[in-house]
Amino acid sequence: MFYVNLPTVNDRKPGEPAPPIPEGASLPLLREDTPTHQANALLYSDGRPTEQMLELARAYAEIEPWKTTLLRLRRSAVPLAFAQPPFSLQTHENPATGARTIFVVNNSISQSAESEISFFSMIESVTDLKTQKILPLKKGAHDMLTARLTLAPGDGTLLVLKQREGQEAVLLYHEDFAVINRARTFERAVICMRPGAWGMGYEAVVTADNPDPQKVAKPGSVAYDLQQIGGAPSAGLRRYILYDGSRGAKSGEMVMLAVSKDDKIFSWISVDDFNHPILIPDDAKTVRFELNPGGTLEGFDLIGVSGAK
């Protein structure tokens, strides 16, 4: 774990002007100088390494054997593996060979953790590069494969994937509510701007609309015609939705995903399953997110897995 100096929290509201800067002032503005006699970088003033410097050296020494592999990898546009907290992961690929590698990290710095990692069924085998062991794969929900992984506090590893020949995952549609889109239909739901993490800008999210705070808010929804967003039923293509959102301060069912084959009868297939692929039935023509008051939908990806059985 390495420290960084975070910027001042941006608490400005949309449309609010920035505070004025004194005329003739130079930037950055220094209001107060308090000597701490402590390190302000990775070395003390006498050249001795700080604890952060020693930890950084340890981390670099650990990944030295993987240097050649890491330098070749680039972030993949389509994720192939998924995990729940305290684990986080990213999918990377080698542009020259197309081989995929998963970066996995245990975000808990106080205790070891064991978690289940899910993979699309196109994955044939998973090898832990750190232990050189092949992880046993089991069938899971939504036609996914799962494996168990244990990591020490703050530890991580690389998982090398081997794909089944002739099978691939493609991004069919990406929704982040940042642009106008005629493919979506709102009912008692609105797009609103929410401050980003650490005050860094704003992000668009969808919530249930409540025009009259004096009355009990009703659930809202946003629906999509799958054919309009590139997800029309196709032979040999399994369609998945990977959505992100939050429950807010309330408990219970906040974000529900429903599907319909005739736009009349909808069936729920997922409730608050954030950041986990949900398999869409082959005959589904419409998907609809239903939002209870307090829940937010932050976006989703529509992913197609070709050649899947």
199: CB partners within 8 A, 6+ apart: 7, 8, 9, 10, 11
Residues 153 and 189 reside in one and the same domain: no
**Helix runs in the chain, H state only:** 51-63, 67-72
Greater confidence, 136 or 60?
Answer: 136
Range list of H helices, 168-214: none
148 lies in some domain = yes
**End-of-domain residue from the set 164, 195, 230:** 164
Per-residue pLDDT tens digits for 109-126: 899 999 999 999 999 999
Rounded to a whole number of angstroms, the distance between the first and last alpha carbons of the chain is: 42
Residue 5 confidence (pLDDT): 42
Residue 289, domain extent: 171-306
- Domain's final residue, options 164, 192, 210: 164
d(C-alpha 209, C-alpha 192), whole Å: 10
Predicted TM-score (pTM) of this structure: 0.79
**Dist. CA 187–CA 223, nearest whole Å:** 8
Residues 290 and 209 in one domain: yes
pLDDT digit string, tens, across residues 226-266: 999 987 777 778 999 999 998 776 667 789 999 999 989 99
| Residue 43 covered by a domain | no
Burial state string for 72-92 with b = 16 or more CB within 10 A and e = fewer than 16: ebeebebbbbbbeebbebebb
**Cβ atoms 175, 299 nearer than 8 A:** yes
Segment 83-110, tens digit of pLDDT: 988 999 999 999 988 889 999 999 998 9
**At 123, which CATH number?**
2.60.40.1180
Q: What percent of the chain has pLDDT over 70?
A: 85
Single out the residue in 119, 137, 164 at which a domain terminates.
164
pLDDT of residue 307: 67
What value does the mean pLDDT of the chain take?
A: 85
Residues 207 and 264 placed together within one structural domain of the fold? yes
Closest C-alpha to 108, from 148, 152, 77: 152
Instruction: For residue 41, tell me if it sits in a domain.
Output: no
Q: Are residues 189 and 104 in the same domain?
A: no
* Pair 286, 232: CB distance under 8 Å: no
d(CA 143, CA 119): 9
Q: How many domains does the chain have?
A: 2
Residues 38-51 pLDDT 10s: 655 677 767 778 78
pLDDT of 4 reads 45
Q: What is the CATH number of the domain that holds 198?
A: 2.60.120
